[in-house]
Amino acid sequence: MPRPTFTSYMAMPLARHNLCQSSQSYPVRAPARLQKLVSDVTKGPKLYAWTIDNLEAHRQKRDTKLELHTRNLIQADPTKRVHILGIGNLGRLYATSLANLGEAPITLILHRKGLLEHWASEPAIEITRRGVTERVGNFDVEWWTEEKPPVGPVREVCQGYSISNLIVSTKAPDALPQVDRLRRYLDAKSTVAFVQNGMNRLWPPNGAIYNDKRFLPNQHPNWIHCVTTHGVTSLGPLKSIHASPADIAMGPVSLNPETQDCSDYLVEQILRAPHLSARAVPTSALWVLQLEKLVVNSTINPLTALLRCKNGSLFSESGDSASEKVMDLLLDEASLVLQALVQHPSSREILAESSFPDTGTHESADGMALLARFSPARLRAMLHQVGEKVKDNTSSMLQDVTSGKQTEIREFNGWFVDMAEYLGLETPNHKVICDLVENGGLVLGQDQLGRHFPAINNL
């Protein structure tokens, strides 16, 4: 008997009830960022794929091996090629794991010319796991830009055809804008897997808005998401340490009802890749897992960034530190928002088949089980359980602020602020935490932190 495909048993509700195409019986207001994104009605820019052969300094050293590599790059089966956009910590984890599987040709998409020059001199990703460093270099590497290369071969991205398999591992604020920039090269046979933290921006009702604005009917890609709990820390350009091996829950956000089988190849590659420990989950389970991970990220990450501490320092034995009291405030507001979201009409589509993770039970479509799952007490227990597992880790937001990079605060706590507004609620403490993190290099002690949250005096 043939093995069931990812789409056949993970997305059965989508065959009957496509999340991107369903009619809405409630008012839909596109978020301001989404409205701004789709206000550009052009086809999308024509992009050129620079390789190291387009670097003048490198061309002076080129040889027949490079020319053979270029021919192989063009001749490889495009439907089997996996493109990875964003080569930060998660991008390196996925790239090296898929390379170790050794089946798909992989193209790393770099975001600036300087990284292409760096690759020309050091052509490998280094990842350290359990004290052992592995160098992986069997990748094709490109910089995609509107600038036509002045030297070397001139090639359009994917020879002007569509991208078959795309893993998006940029930071959360850049994910959808970067994918939108590639819309000229995306179609119904494309599969796009988002792997960053934060909630996917294409969950209902926003996915329908984006697809309707960007693609002809039934011509949008298959959108999937990977909830990644691995802890990966940067050691420098193209170097990371796989500090806390964990797992990945992968499922469909929305599939194209006419081409959903096209997603099976990329999904299978991720499921079988070593070190990823990926598993497939249904849409409803994916949604729940993303929301729960968002609760963790919006609580631990910003506080470690403000206090400049490892994750475990937020938790005290007495439980009465300022950081723990602030966490309680954030969890209470998160619970309020999530319980309201579960009961909102926009969630009915996701909950149509409600098999939730860790329970194995089928609940009624009103999501009563989720109301208990998203209670303050349950979220608090979950946070402390995760906190114990990652106590020795450095959060991604702390890594960002110490290196002067943009944080994901608006994708974490900002999501709760935006969703609360959409639902007619208020989240003043999440607003405060956003403002504090965005206040440059602000560093606080426990006492200073408490003064920004007067409500902790009521706890």
Mean pLDDT, contiguous 10-residue spans, the chain (459 residues): 50 40 53 84 94 84 50 70 97 98 96 95 96 96 97 95 97 95 98 96 88 94 96 94 95 94 97 97 94 97 96 85 96 97 89 54 59 96 94 92 92 95 96 93 91 88
Give, rounded to a whole angstrom, the gap between the first and last alpha carbons of the chain. Answer: 59
Q: Do residues 351 and 368 make contact, with C-beta atoms less than 8 angstroms apart?
A: no
For 356-390, give the DSSP string: -TTT--B--TT-HHHHHHTSHHHHHHHHHHHHHHT
Q: What is the pTM of this model?
A: 0.89
- Residues annotated as part of the active site: 293
Q: Is residue 49 helix, strand or coil?
A: strand
**What pLDDT sits at residue 38?**
87
Tally of CA atoms within 13 A in the half-sphere of 69 that contains its CB: 15
How distant is the alpha carbon of residue 338 from its chain centre? 20
Q: To which H or E segment does residue 280 belong?
A: strand 278-280
Strands 222-228 and 248-254: antiparallel
pLDDT at 291: 97
Long-range contacts of 417-421 (CB under 8 A, 24+ apart): 418/31, 419/337, 419/341, 420/333, 420/336, 420/337
Across the beta sheet with 82-85, the strand order is 48-50, 140-145, 106-110, 82-85, 165-168, 191-194, 222-228, 248-254, 278-280
Across 307-326, b (16+ Cβ under 10 Å) vs e yields bebebbebbeeeeebbbbbb
**pLDDT of the residue at 21:** 42
250/6 Cα distance (integer angstroms) = 10
What is the DSSP code string of 13-29?
Answer: HHHHS-TTT---SS---
Separation of alpha carbons 10 and 271, rounded Å: 13
The partner residues of 24 in beta bridges, in order of sequence, read none
Cβ count within 10 A of residue 409: 26
User: What's the confidence (pLDDT) of residue 73?
Assistant: 55
99 alpha carbon, distance to own chain's centre:
20
pLDDT in the model for residue 34: 84
